[in-house]
Every structure is written in structure tokens, then in C-alpha cells.
Amino acid sequence: MTDTIAPTVSPVRPDTILLGLNTFGDVDEGPDGNPLPHAQVLRQLLEQAELADAVGLHAFGVGEHHRKDFAVSAPEVFLAAAAARTKQILLGSAVTVLSSDDPIRVFQRFSTVDAISNGRAEVMLGRGSFVESFPLFGLDLADYEVLFEEKLELFDKVRAQKPVHWEGRTRPALNGLSVYPPLEHHLLPAWIGVGGTPESVLRCAEYGYPVIFAIIGGEPRAFAPLVNLYREAMEKYGHPMQQIATHSPGHIADTDEAAREELFPHWLAQRNKIGSERGWGPGNRREFDGMCGPEGALYVGSPETVAHKIALLKRNLGVDRFDLKYSNGTLPHASMMRCIELFGTVVAPRVAELLAGGRPAN
């Protein structure tokens, strides 16, 4: 590594917000009502990434899961294919479950994607709110915390692109080994995904990484104390400020009514499936409509409605980037493609207008 290597991801102007997309490769249904093959979902996903690039969106991220209802278990393989079919969009994970992976291999796979994409790779690291990868790879959930802590420490050393000196309890020590291939002109942009705990925010700031908050319930404005904590901790640790982002589910259609009606049955089915696994009560339309409101965590509606909601997010939290999780359960491919098109061609320029015009309306 040389002194000329660029910083990770610098904050944007106060009147700007970057817009990206996230997906888990949610398995949708065919005309017969049966789930589509995972292979077909992945091919559809490539079409979605191509469209996101064509309409000028900032980033496209795929999340790692190891369960029947999500098709992406190897984000970097998909991203390498997407790199060959896109030109300018950033390509990343959302998230990579570092706790159940090898930090060295994670770096190598993403540095390979970076080379293929000509410098467009980024990685988002997380512990994983779904834990299927732990038994799959022979790991003990009792080690949930120490696995992430040690593997993040090792990843950070590998990311520096210097000979690695490290030891811990979760794998054999490394004494001066180098990891290849390195990136050409910069360090690998590496984010940490945070659910909502101060401890996770402080860990992210300790490493000086940009942070992305997963806001999937409640009110986004409630995350203001955590956003402020990150800024304060970055200053305390003496790190240059990095980007702050949020990730939330949503859906865009031509009208508010169309967006809600298209999304609701798919949202409800997924909400209740995951809720039954985690001990939640059943969801309902009242909950859904409340989350779709101006202060809720779902970005659902017409382009105008969603644009105002993103502008409000910028005003309330001052974040640099917003990623829309546009796939929601069995929502059809055609609906997702239309959502992506509207997000890039209508929502993005409208958000820019709202922010350029000063304080956005509620």
C-alpha cells in the first residue's frame, strides 16, 4: 500500500444523496403459483442489475443467504457476472456474512470482482440476522460474537494490502503472509451493516469504515442518535468521516394505490413467514399502511411519494446514501423491473430537485 491510495468512501454534499438498490434474490412465483427455480431467479437478477445500471443508479447490492426463499448464496459469483454486463454502477454485497466465511477468501473474491469491473466493487460486512450459514459451515452459534470480532480484525489487516500479522482463537495465526490479488488503485471499499445497537456502531467507527443502517421497522428518524454516535465516535478515533447510508424495503409504481396493492400480499406472506420463525405476531394491513406513511420504514408509493420520503430521510438523518431493498418475497420480476425503472428515471431526478430547492416538505 502506498500513501496515494484513496480513502474509502467520502461523504457527499449536504444537498445530495446517492441512490442504490439491494436484493436478496427473493424467489418469486411462476404463472402456476409455484416458486421459480433458483437458477431462473438468478438470471432475472442479472436483468435487474443491467437495468439499474442503464437508468443511472449508484449501486447494486446482493445479500448472502442460505435458505430456500432467497437465491443468492455466493454474492461475488453473481457480481462478477454482473460486472461483465454493466458499465458504471457499483457492485457489492448486502451483506456478506463475515462470521461464517474466511476473511482472506472474502477479500480475494471481491478484489477479483474489482478487477473484472474496473474498480466498481464494494463489500458490506455483517454478522447476519439469518443464521443458516452457521450449521451449514460447521460453526457454533455460541461463538456468534467472537467469530465476527476476530474475522473483522483479520479482514481489516488483509484489506490494508500489507503482509498480514494476526492471531486469535478462531483460526491459525498468520505471520507476515501476503494476500493476492491486490486492488490496483485503491483500498477495497468496505462497509459494516448495523441493525440498531450502539455496540455495533462503535465497532464500525473503531475501524473507520462507512456504516449502513438496516431500517426495516419503526421510524427512520429514530436512528438519529445512532447516526450522531457514529459521527462522534469517528471523530474520537481520529478517522476521516466516511459515508453513512440506510437500507429499507420498498416498492415504486405509477400511483400510491398501485404500489401498495402490488406489494401488500407479498410483503404480508414474507412478513408472516419470517415472523413465525422469530416469534412475532401476525402482520396485517394496518401495520403495512402505517409503515408506508411519511415517517414509516417502507418506501412504497408513486415516484413523487417516494422521492419526498427520501428527501425527508436526508433532512432527518443527513445520510449520504439510501439503498432501496426492492425485492420483497414473491413480488414478480416485471413489477421489480418497473420499480427499478421508476427509481432511476423519475425518483432520482425528483429527489435531486427537492434537495436543491432547500428544506423538503413533510
Q: Decide: helix, strand or coil at residue 165.
A: strand
pLDDT at residue 7 greater than cutoff 80: no
Q: Any idea which of 5-19, 31-45, 168-182 has the lowest mean pLDDT?
A: 5-19
Tens digit of each residue's pLDDT (9 = 90 or more) over 24-56: 999 999 989 999 999 999 999 999 999 999 999
- Rounded to an integer, the average pLDDT of 285-311 is 97
DSSP 244-305: EEEEEEEEE-SSHHHHHHHHHHHHHHHHHHHHHHHTPPPP-HHHHHHHHSTTSS-EEE-HHH
More confident residue, 230 or 2: 230
Q: Which of 201, 207, 215 is nearest to 22 (CA)?
A: 215
pLDDT at residue 214 greater than cutoff 60: yes
Tens digit of each residue's pLDDT (9 = 90 or more) over 117-141: 999 999 999 997 899 999 999 999 9
Measured distance CA(229)–CA(198) in Å, rounded? 8
Q: Any idea which of 51-60, 260-269, 276-285, 321-330 has the lowest mean pLDDT?
A: 276-285
Task: Check residue 67 and give its pLDDT.
Answer: 96
pLDDT at residue 1 greater than cutoff 60: no
More confident residue, 203 or 357: 203
Q: Predicted confidence band at 8 (pLDDT cuts at 50, 70, 90)?
A: low
Across the chain, mean pLDDT equals 95
- Rounded to an integer, the average pLDDT of 310-337 is 97
Task: Check residue 360 and give its pLDDT.
Answer: 44
Q: Which of 15, 13, 4, 88 is nearest to 52 (CA)?
A: 88
Measured distance CA(95)–CA(22) in Å, rounded? 9
Task: Check residue 361 and give its pLDDT.
Answer: 44
Measured distance CA(48)–CA(42) in Å, rounded? 10
Q: Which three cell numbers stand for residue 334?
A: 416485471
Measured distance CA(250)–CA(260) in Å, rounded? 10
Extract the runs of DSSP E, i.e. beta strands, from the chain. 18-23, 59-62, 90-93, 96-97, 121-126, 164-166, 174-177, 190-194, 211-214, 244-252, 299-301, 321-325
Task: Check residue 3 and give its pLDDT.
Answer: 42
Measured distance CA(247)–CA(233) in Å, rounded? 21
pLDDT at residue 93 greater than cutoff 60: yes
Task: Check residue 4 and give its pLDDT.
Answer: 43
Cα torsion angle, 228, 230, 235, 241, sign? negative
Q: Predicted confidence band at 155 (pLDDT cuts at 50, 70, 90)?
A: very high
Neighbours of 335 (CB within 10 A): 21
